[in-house]
Structure 1
Amino acid sequence: MKEALVDVSVLILFFNRPEPLEQVFAQVQKARPARLFLYQDGPRSEKDMPGILACRDVVSQIDWECEVHQLYQERNYGCDPSEFISQKWAFSHTDKCVVLEDDDVPAVSFFSFCKEMLDRYENDERITMVSGFNVEEQTSDIMEDYFFTTNFSIWGWASWRRVVDQWDEHYTWMDDPQTVAQIRTVIKERGYRNDFIPMCTRHRTQGKAFYETIFWAHLLMSNGLCIVPRRNMINNLGATPGSTHFGGSLETLPHGYRRIFTMKRYELGGPVQHPAHIMEHVAYRKRAYKIMGWMNPMIKIGRSFEELFLNLRHGNFRFIMQSLNKRILKWMGKKAYK
């Protein structure tokens, strides 16, 4: 049995897709972390069982000394609240942890990078999380190996129990008009997506924990910073028809979004070079929001027309009709996007 190489905890979330999970776990095998937390949602029906069992076989290939924890659900909870459940479970057993979903393929050095960041900033409450995904692929206007931003990605991340313990799963902050008003001001000032408050309202009404808005709300209310590597360290395989949040195909994605799913990932080239000061890289945040089309209606409109053209060219008429129906319902106030 080989020795562990990185003294870090890693949570892996998966369901019934062994193919992308194999790519993720191949990188985990190379990194050999000291602790694994394996979370799997339960089957929706018997049809899910072959994929579920195949995934369990993938993550059983542990050939190094490793402390393994498993939480395999017997019933299906869905993506939400499964993500929240799994993260609260893992962080109840470890004070800092890396989190990967079954389509987040990390660089091997992502684990040692997270280990160093988690140890270095463990008691610095200004820092909320470590992210492995850089939406620019490479950020050219800094010399160090990472920087700080109020924008973050959940495609491969790490954090501390001190952060997760403060998550407000019941959105009780929404009962305080002053807090809501302040968050609206911060969103406007930063140019963040303007549907965040309505999204939190919908999630609260549904009565289940959506960890993404819970995490975002905590970041906003704590004025937290995220560590992002200068060069991207994560590939996301989620732009496939079988994924939870995506219904199209990579070939019909607008170019601006397609590059996000096809960019390179990089390994660290040597010892981590640290920034001299803890300050937000404001220019990166503004560029990232532009790339995502947040608060940039002309970019969103242009990408919508590009997506329509690409789907027409590929004959995806059913997808076009479904998308049009969703937009009409949204305009009528009868449907809201998550």
Structure 2
Amino acid sequence: MELAPVILFCFNRPKHTTATLEALKACRLASETNLYVYSDGPRNEEEAYLVNEVRSVLQGVKGFKSVTISQRKFNMGLASSIISGVTEVIQKHGKVIVLEDDLVCADSFLENQNKMLDYFEDHQQIFSTSAYSPPIKYPANFADDLYLFPRTSSYGWGTWRDRWESVDWSMEGFNEFIQSKAQRRHFNKGGIDLTPMLLHQKVGKIDSWSIRFSYAASLQNSLCVYPKESMLQHIGTDGSGTHSTSSSCYGHTSNNKVIHIEHFPKEHEAIAKRVRKFWANSLIRQLINFYKRMAYISLLKL
């Protein structure tokens, strides 16, 4: 099995970056893995110090088969940085494992992600893999290590070149989508927060690669494969991130278990219902999002 390279995206959090790298280096297979690091540039002079601190951390990185560091001269933003960085590496290697600078993985992370990428590569229904799973309660009779869910993950994920290159980042079919109840219902099988996020992306309120990746998977009726137990901890919900706020709802534990894929996993409705509940907006937010969607349609006279 040819190991997938790991891509790490970092910005202005040296302590988080250090923790992420130390955990990744401790993984089994780390010494056989090519590591690519993309360090985004500062948005202003005040951030330049922290960005330089991060880059000082990166200069001492060892413990991998190879380390390739790309330092952005200017700030690209997370979405543009990830889209361009993944495109560059995946064209060379055909598959990738992706981390951001606030994810601390278990020792089994690389072993498990490579196992999933190898097993599901020829299953076109699978759009990506995830190392994270929301902290939900599983049915007592659920014994598998993996489950399928129609929402891609941005936390310790992996994918293949053909899936990545199938994404239309410009979302040319969005106007048809936003007017179609059937398409929105299908997309929202991954969570009722998805369509509002996609609308915010379209009107420029957010700049997210992840929501567009999930949208592309939905258009192709594809799924993401999730572990029953998370292989990483999300340490970025302490208010330090550009796109995150302080929160503990993502869970603070990771499991070092080596997964076993004895058969192709299935979608499990009881699990899907609990995952959708985890990502659900409040009733007030749902009402606000409904009127925003109607305003968008009215404004553009669709």
Gaps of 5+ in 1: 1-5, 251-257, 302-325
Gaps of 5+ in 2: 297-302
- Matched with 1:203 is 201
- Matched with 1:61 is 60
Q: 1:251-290 maps to which residues of 2 (within 5 A)?
A: 258-262=248-252, 264-268=253-257, 270=258, 272-290=259-277
CA RMSD of aligned residues (A): 3.1
- Matched with 2:299 is none
Letter paired with 1:220: S
Bigger shift: 176-185 or 98-107? Answer: 176-185
After superposition, the C-alpha distances for 1:198-250 in whole angstroms (9 at most, x for unaligned) are 54344234499631121011111111121111111121112223211234x44
- Matched with 1:225 is 223
- Matched with 1:133 is 132
- Matched with 1:297 is 283
Instruction: Kindly indicate whether the alpha-carbon contact (under 8 Å) linking 2:9 and 2:100 is maintained by their aligned counterparts in 1.
Output: yes
SS in 2 for 1:26: helix
Q: Percent identity?
A: 22
- Matched with 1:174 is 174
Instruction: Kindly indicate whether the alpha-carbon contact (under 8 Å) linking 2:147 and 2:225 is maintained by their aligned counterparts in 1.
Output: yes
Distance, in Å, in 1 between the alignment partners of 2:136 and 2:231 is 9
Distance, in Å, in 2 between the alignment partners of 1:229 and 1:76 is 34
- Relative distance call for 1:146 and 1:195 in structure 2 (3 A) is closer
Per the TM alignment, residue 7 of structure 1 is displaced from its structure 2 partner at its CA by 2.8
Instruction: Kindly indicate whether the alpha-carbon contact (under 8 Å) linking 2:149 and 2:226 is maintained by their aligned counterparts in 1.
Output: yes
Letter paired with 2:22: A
Per the TM alignment, residue 186 of structure 1 is displaced from its structure 2 partner at its CA by 1.1
- Matched with 2:148 is 148
Distance, in Å, in 1 between the alignment partners of 2:267 and 2:149 is 5
Distance, in Å, in 1 between the alignment partners of 2:229 and 2:34 is 26
- Matched with 2:300 is none
State TM-score, norm by structure 1.
Answer: 0.75
Distance, in Å, in 2 between the alignment partners of 1:10 and 1:124 is 22
Distance, in Å, in 1 between the alignment partners of 2:147 and 2:205 is 36
Per the TM alignment, residue 181 of structure 1 is displaced from its structure 2 partner at its CA by 4.7
Larger relative CO (CA 8 A, sep 6+): 1 or 2? 2
Letter paired with 1:148: L
Bigger shift: 176-185 or 101-110? Answer: 176-185
- Relative distance call for 1:28 and 1:178 in structure 2 (3 A) is closer
Q: Does 1:185 align with 2:172?
A: no
Instruction: Kindly indicate whether the alpha-carbon contact (under 8 Å) linking 1:169 and 1:209 is maintained by their aligned counterparts in 2.
Output: no
Q: Does 1:83 align with 2:77?
A: no
Instruction: Kindly indicate whether the alpha-carbon contact (under 8 Å) linking 1:239 and 1:261 is maintained by their aligned counterparts in 2.
Output: no
Instruction: Kindly indicate whether the alpha-carbon contact (under 8 Å) linking 1:144 and 1:230 is maintained by their aligned counterparts in 2.
Output: yes
Per the TM alignment, residue 58 of structure 1 is displaced from its structure 2 partner at its CA by 2.2
Bigger shift: 64-73 or 105-114? Answer: 64-73
Number of aligned positions between the proteins: 287
Distance, in Å, in 2 between the alignment partners of 1:221 and 1:29 is 36
Letter paired with 2:174: M
After superposition, the C-alpha distances for 1:153-174 in whole angstroms (9 at most, x for unaligned) are 3111111111110111110122
After superposition, the C-alpha distances for 1:180-199 in whole angstroms (9 at most, x for unaligned) are 554213145x3731561x54
Distance, in Å, in 1 between the alignment partners of 2:3 and 2:222 is 26
- Matched with 1:17 is 13
Q: Highest CA radius of gyration, 1 or 2? A: 1
